[in-house]
Structure 1
């Protein structure tokens, strides 16, 4: 089965060059050391292994993102160049990979009340978080098709940015936004309290 190429040749080259640059840049001076240091080739193998693991994780999360955006297993399989069944067998079991924050205090037994917002998609999750935030719930965990929120005594606001926008992420953190987990490709989620009067 042949995949449906959605990227052009230049985009494909840009991704490949970016991955190669990231692997070679993992250690200061790695590329230059390859000219004379046999040990550096083993470091290159290790850096490539980490790159391959990260690429695999990104692919799993991208597939779950496509599913959350409403695409069928048949469509995802065509893009990957495999059958619907093969795509589903490889990636459906990965939906349980979730990002969850540590429990916080408050509420019965020392833990604040939590609830799951589900089913969510890439297109309605922010509206669901906005509504929950107005009611005093804030994001503490997430995964494919769901968000976990925790009760508090103040309203919250939430936003998401692409993981590629590191400059914006740093700026947001100086503005009081709190990152939630490490991100769910391609998004990183943030929250911040609005305060008792909801001034912001």
Structure 2
């Protein structure tokens, strides 16, 4: 991959304008209040803070997605304009929390859990399909892993982009259950196979 930017100037402007519009649209009256209300600027600061936190979360998840797709820390660092080491120090995640969760599941009264790892954006759905046929359903996920829980019935899993709009509502009407808040750019769903056959 060369050092050329992956986005053109128009795409960059479109993203910047979209973020600004989202921040200013946080409240219906926010932009108008800036003309006459000093507190409007405090609301703007708060909306900008939320926007920055969300942009930071999206960047973290996008980096982990790139890593899961097989890109090196060197490549990610070049895109971010930092060294490989700086990118790795800032964005590397550990699977320790998931492993600790798996150990906790061994206690009495808690369903057995497993960590499916290492996974990538290209093999995670096949791994979930196999686990689902064996009675495991998705309960958590992160960079390079999915956490599944045992049950007494088979499950199916799917993922859709977070930008799929009305599709999310239709899926929930069809019995799909969202798992977590999503892992940019994906949202994951599950449903028992017996429920799927009713639809």
- Answer yes or no: same fold by TM over 0.5: yes
Supply the distance in 2 between the matched residues of 1:95 and 1:135 (Cα, whole angstroms). Answer: 27
Residues 115 and 149, structure 1, Cα contact 8 Å, conserved in 2: yes
User: SS of 2:159's equivalent?
Assistant: strand
1:81 aligns with 2:53: no
Runs of 5+ unmatched residues, structure 2: none
1-side partners of 2:50 and 2:96: how far apart? 19
Q: Distance in 2 between matches of 1:172 and 1:98?
A: 30
Q: C-alpha offsets along residues 59-107 of structure 1, whole Å, 9 cap, x if unaligned? A: 0110011000000000001111111111111111x455979xx99xx99
Question: 1:109-140 deviations in whole A, cap 9, x for unaligned?
Answer: 21111111000000000000001101111000
User: Shift of residue 196 of structure 1?
Assistant: 8.6
Number of the residue aligned with 1:14: 14
SS in 2 for 1:109: coil
Q: Distance in 1 between matches of 2:140 and 2:134?
A: 17
Is 1:109 the equivalent of 2:103? Answer: no
Quote the residue 2:61 is aligned against: 61
Counterpart contact for 2:139–2:147, Cα < 8 Å: yes
Which residue of the partner structure matches residue 183 of structure 2? 184
Aligned residue for 1:122, secondary structure, equals coil
Residue 123 of structure 2 corresponds to which residue in structure 1? 124
Unmatched runs of 5 consecutive residues or more in structure 1: none
Distance in 2 (CA, whole Å) between partners of 1:3 and 1:27 is 39
Higher relative contact order (CA 8 A, sep 6+): 1
Aligned length: 194
Report the RMSD for the aligned CA atoms in angstroms.
2.5
Partner residue, 1:39: 39
Stretches of 4+ moved more than 2 A in 1?
94-99, 196-200
